[in-house]
């Protein structure tokens, strides 16, 4: 009788232990965007989807606005295992992986259809392999709008001669050569600092995507804006490879599936935001000019060769192959 009672107690304890909920895998994720940015909202949606698809086996903790790690350190921190995940844009990769500047090629990403073709493309695969070589696994590409704004004061900047001597917001050494070819003087700085520089007169012109021109309130310090498909910026999401490979297959698949959805959400959110932005900027008393195809071609003839020369000098044979792949999209 005692033996039977002992077996019953053992079975009860074992059943109780197996019913104790297992702790979720923590996935700390850092990015630089303010919480109200449309891409930041997509990242939040992506995190929620991972938790849903993994049945809460993964607890995704999003830290926005540089609150966990400053943007320039994101990749280093994920690689070192200080956190599991981060999102970076082109500018953060310029020094360590200049190939990532490919989407800054002037007028290459000129419509939303090219964005839709990016995921799984040979061009994207090239970059994913290079990211993997650094100890990171790329999981998603979140594109912002392909519509660029060039903001200015008192007049539009449209013709090459309009840019001569203009101190303009820059995007890093490779893209800046295209601006210098127009005779302008690029100064690298993020949007939040560009606003202050424009306000103080330290910059003459802003350069950002059309949604950011609105969300960062460029209209408070500039009164003219030219809109054209000059470049696009992405925020690519990546994880620590060792951490990722150690996850159960179900959790890895949840990240893969949520990431594929997020790429579509980002395009949709960017298109909605960009479509509304010109009218909203006009409502803030900005004078809007949509660049015509002849105007674009004139700028392209000057900017593209300068960009390609610098890009290829920096990236070598890999850059040649990548530009070819992008130009075929």
Q: Please give the average per-residue pLDDT across 67-82, as a whole number.
A: 95
Note whether 208 and 191 are within 8 A (CB). Answer: yes
Amino acid 2: pLDDT: 45
Q: Which residue has the higher pLDDT, 275 or 238?
A: 238
Average the pLDDT over each of 69-73, 101-105, 148-152, 211-215 and give the range with the smallest value: 211-215
Q: Please give the average per-residue pLDDT across 100-126, as a whole number.
A: 95
| CATH 3.40.190.170 residue window(s) in the chain | 26-143+233-274, 148-231+277-327
Q: Please write the tens of the pLDDT for every residue from 159-174.
A: 999 999 999 999 999 9
What is 61-83 written as a DSSP string?
Answer: EEE-TTSSS-GGGHHHHHHHTSS
Superfamily of domain 148-231+277-327: Bacterial extracellular solute-binding protein, family 7 (3.40.190.170)
Amino acid 24: pLDDT: 87
Average the pLDDT over each of 189-193, 243-247, 317-321 and give the range with the smallest value: 189-193
Q: Please give the average per-residue pLDDT across 132-158, as a whole number.
A: 96
Query: Could you tell me the pLDDT band of residue 258, with boundaries at 50, 70 and 90?
Result: very high
pLDDT at position 15 over 60? no
H helix or E strand, kind and range, residue 7? helix 2-18
Q: What strands lie across the sheet with 234-240, from one edge to the other?
A: 58-63, 25-30, 85-89, 234-240, 136-143
H helix or E strand, kind and range, residue 96? none
Cα 112 from Cα 18, distance rounded (Å): 50
Nearest to 225 by CA among 165, 267, 293, 169: 169
The domain made up of 26-143+233-274 has a fold known as: D-Maltodextrin-Binding Protein; domain 2 (3.40.190)
**Own/partner long-range contacts of 96-99 (Cβ < 8 Å, ≥24 apart):** 96/134, 97/127, 97/130, 97/131, 97/134, 98/174, 98/311, 98/314, 98/315, 98/319, 99/126, 99/127, 99/130, 99/315, 99/318, 99/319, 99/322
pLDDT at position 23 over 80? no
Question: ∠ at Cα 195 (63, 185), nearest 5°?
Answer: 115
Q: Report the percentage of the chain scoring pLDDT > 90.
A: 85
Cα 206 from Cα 151, distance rounded (Å): 5
């Amino acid at each position: 009788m005692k033996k039977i009672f002992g077996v019953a107690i053992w079975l009860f304890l074992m059943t109780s232990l197996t019913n104790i909920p297992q702790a979720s895998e923590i996935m700390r994720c850092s990015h630089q965007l303010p919480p109200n940015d449309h891409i930041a909202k997509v990242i939040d949606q992506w995190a929620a989807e991972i938790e849903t698809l993994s049945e809460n086996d993964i607890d995704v903790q999003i830290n926005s606005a540089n609150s966990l790690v400053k943007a320039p350190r994101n990749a280093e921190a994920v690689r070192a295992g200080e956190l599991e995940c981060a999102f970076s844009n082109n500018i953060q990769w310029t020094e360590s992986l200049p190939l990532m500047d490919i989407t800054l090629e002037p007028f290459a990403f000129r419509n939303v259809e090219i964005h839709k073709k990016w995921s799984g493309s040979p061009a994207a695969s090239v970059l994913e392999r290079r990211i993997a070589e650094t100890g990171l696994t790329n999981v998603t590409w979140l594109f912002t709008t392909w519509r660029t704004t060039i903001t200015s004061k008192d007049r539009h900047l449209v013709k090459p001669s309009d840019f001569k001597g203009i101190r303009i917001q820059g995007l890093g050494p490779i893209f800046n050569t295209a601006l210098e070819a127009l005779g302008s003087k690029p100064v690298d700085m993020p949007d939040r600092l560009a606003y202050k520089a424009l306000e103080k007169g330290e910059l003459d012109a802003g350069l950002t995507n059309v949604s950011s021109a609105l969300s960062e309130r460029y209209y408070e310090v500039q009164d003219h804006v030219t809109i054209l498909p000059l470049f696009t910026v992405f925020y690519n999401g990546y994880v620590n490879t060792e951490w990722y490979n150690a996850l159960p297959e179900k959790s890895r698949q949840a990240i893969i599936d949520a990431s594929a959805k997020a790429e579509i959400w980002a395009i949709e959110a960017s298109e909605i935001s960009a479509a509304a932005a010109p009218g909203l900027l006009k409502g803030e008393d900005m004078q809007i000019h949509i660049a015509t195809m002849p105007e674009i071609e004139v700028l392209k003839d000057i900017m593209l060769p300068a960009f390609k020369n610098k890009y290829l000098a920096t990236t070598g044979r890999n850059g040649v192959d990548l530009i070819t792949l992008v130009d075929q999209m």
